[in-house]
Structure 1
């Protein structure tokens, strides 16, 4: 028995047969990582000499260039001082025996402040007093001697005048007798000689007594002047003894008053001052001597208490610092002496400019950031003031500049870490 035949349009299945692609060989993951590491190492080895030739900045301090207002000014810290004050200096040497007021007290003019004790001055005063007394005693003795001498001279002069008058009378009598022929010419000549002798002795004695009196009087006058000098010295010592008690030369408030009981002071030693509270205040500031050529009277300054002006530059320079005085334009604010005030001294008017923060790297040859590198560039800088540097040419706003010190100024390129 034969099988049934297939229908004529039935599918044969030949169209379903097609060739398959050859299976891909998969690379292991570990092998792929090894290849990537080898490539990276190769690139690192290739670029290693180049990186070694470019110095790196380990701690880079970058700052942008900004446009703003450049102020050529100097920040200062000043101390308030009174406009009118009197320094209290020790006038005499001694030991402080008593302090009658305290620092900060308000005192009236002439009020006692402290009292000194000086044994040396007391001893000197006693010595001068004894010298004056001795000289006064000597003057008294000389005056007594002068009076006695004058009395003796008057007696002697009276005797000589009597002798001269007697010789004159005797000569006249002898002359009459000689004219009548009762005495010889020799007797007349003898009486004439006696009269001439008596007259000469009288005149000579008068001259000698006058010279003696003048000499004694001159000696007395010199001794009197010496006594007056000693008395003036004694008066000065007495006044210096009065100065052992220091009094206030004017009314005001004590400031820096430092005497202590038992302390020794020397003449001229500064013991404090008296400030006039109604006289106003001023500021005293220290300025580096570098700025001395730029300081001028009348320069403006600003502070939290109002505008000021520079009034005086003290010429003494100590420790590289000079001192300046400033005063307020308007009414003086209520500040106490010794109080600190922050201010800014202006050298010129503010002006628009490009600015950078000041730093050791801000030089005419500085480094500007380009990506992860710093390129050296020549720029033109202006003035430096208040931690700012004026940029005149070579930079523009937004540029980042290395303000810290670079590791090597000779390298044209630096790389950032």
Structure 2
């Protein structure tokens, strides 16, 4: 082998086409037309839904409709009042105590001064005895002071009499000494001594009179103060005695006893409402409660009508209680109320203003400035202008005309329109 000889060249590679491994496939169907059709259908469905949804209306199952009509607006209030007597007296307990006797009964006709009931008060009896003892003690003290004053005055009179006698004796001695001194039988010193005794006696008498007057004035002032104290105690005792007399309550006026429900043994205190006496001869009046909203429009002289005749507003009580004010109405003619009794209820209409022609709509919760007006089988929302409300009627100013049907019940929502069933 020749080492220099080149290795034999490799044989040329064969070309493989892969035809033996391939197989025929079905041609792919085109997908684009199907997708386009599905998208178009979905878009059409969405378009239908978008068109149908805003046109789908809520149907009112039980709508309450009312027609607007031309009529007369009566500015009046429908009220319910009660009959009260014009003249009555409330029976309040003047004293505290326990009911010892009931001498009258509810509904009876009583005359003025008729005994109604009697109370018993042990505390008042004890207080009366205590005050009586105090008055007696003070009167005894006044008597003692008057006796002491009398004794003092007697003693002062005796002392003054003795001093006056001593003064007279001193003056007599001085006169004798002066005569003897003039005759030369008594010295000048003896005469001076007699004169000093006379001046001293006169001074003692004058001083005693002043002291006795001051003592008498002081004693009299003390007695006057004690007398005033006794008078005050006596007045208190008289008041207690009269309060004991008030334990027997009598009728203050003649009339019918009403609301009198006292029971034996019941305890009462001052101010307890025990009943009242109505004077049927004084007539009756009608008392009604009005909403405070109408307070500025209430004035004396307004007219009201009832099945028992016409009335006139006599007085408005301005105190507001529970959102209501109280009005007092009286019949124009007393004969209309003769058959009415205190406590009876009466329907009335209070006229606030004169009747006027107007478009009227029955009042309801749906009657507001925005309401729903019927058009065919639908209710459309509309802005209107309303006026006064009274007696279940609303005055229409603008936005409606006679014959329009309006939803007066409460709408379920604030939609622009509703469907009727």
- The two structures have a TM-score, normalised by structure 2, of 0.85
After superposition, give the CA deviation of every residue in 1:213-241 in whole Å (9 maximum; x if it has no partner).
11111211221121111111111111111
Unaligned runs of 5+ in 2: 1-44
After superposition, give the CA deviation of every residue in 1:278-324 in whole Å (9 maximum; x if it has no partner).
11100011111111111111100010000111100011111111100
The 5 Å alignment of 1:38-53 reads: 48-52=52-56
In the alignment, is residue 382 of structure 1 matched against residue 387 of structure 2?
A: yes
SS, match of residue 412 in structure 2: coil
The 5 Å alignment of 1:356-395 reads: 356-395=361-400
Cα distance in structure 1, aligned partners of 2:214 and 2:145: 16
In the alignment, is residue 276 of structure 1 matched against residue 285 of structure 2?
A: no
Cα distance in structure 2, aligned partners of 1:412 and 1:102: 68
1:256 matched residue in structure 2: 259
Cα distance in structure 1, aligned partners of 2:242 and 2:218: 36
Cα distance in structure 2, aligned partners of 1:360 and 1:140: 87
Conserved in 2, the CA contact under 8 Å of 1:77 and 1:343? yes
1:143 CA displacement? 0.8
SS, match of residue 229 in structure 2: helix
Cα distance in structure 2, aligned partners of 1:87 and 1:65: 52
1:344 matched residue in structure 2: 349
- Please identify, of 292-301 and 364-373, the stretch whose mean Cα deviation from structure 2 is larger: 364-373
Cα distance in structure 2, aligned partners of 1:265 and 1:288: 36
1:21 matched residue in structure 2: none
After superposition, give the CA deviation of every residue in 1:57-104 in whole Å (9 maximum; x if it has no partner).
343221122232221111111010111111111111112111111111
1:92 matched residue in structure 2: 95
Cα distance in structure 2, aligned partners of 1:210 and 1:366: 103
SS, match of residue 368 in structure 1: strand
1:158 CA displacement? 1.1
SS, match of residue 307 in structure 1: strand
Cα distance in structure 2, aligned partners of 1:76 and 1:327: 15
Unaligned runs of 5+ in 1: 1-40
Cα distance in structure 1, aligned partners of 2:51 and 2:163: 142
Q: 2:403 aligns with which of 383, 392, 398?
A: 398
1:46 CA displacement? 9.0
Cα distance in structure 2, aligned partners of 1:126 and 1:331: 54
Cα distance in structure 1, aligned partners of 2:323 and 2:71: 33
1:376 CA displacement? 1.6
Cα distance in structure 2, aligned partners of 1:183 and 1:365: 139
1:141 matched residue in structure 2: 144
Conserved in 2, the CA contact under 8 Å of 1:55 and 1:408? no
Which ranges of 4 or more aligned residues in structure 1 deviate by more than 4 Å? 44-47
- Please identify, of 392-401 and 298-307, the stretch whose mean Cα deviation from structure 2 is larger: 392-401
In the alignment, is residue 407 of structure 1 matched against residue 412 of structure 2?
A: yes
The 5 Å alignment of 1:221-370 reads: 221-332=224-335, 333=337, 334-370=339-375
Cα distance in structure 2, aligned partners of 1:176 and 1:378: 138
Cα distance in structure 2, aligned partners of 1:331 and 1:148: 77
The 5 Å alignment of 1:185-204 reads: 185-204=188-207
Conserved in 2, the CA contact under 8 Å of 1:356 and 1:391? yes
1:416 matched residue in structure 2: 420
Conserved in 2, the CA contact under 8 Å of 1:55 and 1:407? no
1:361 CA displacement? 1.6
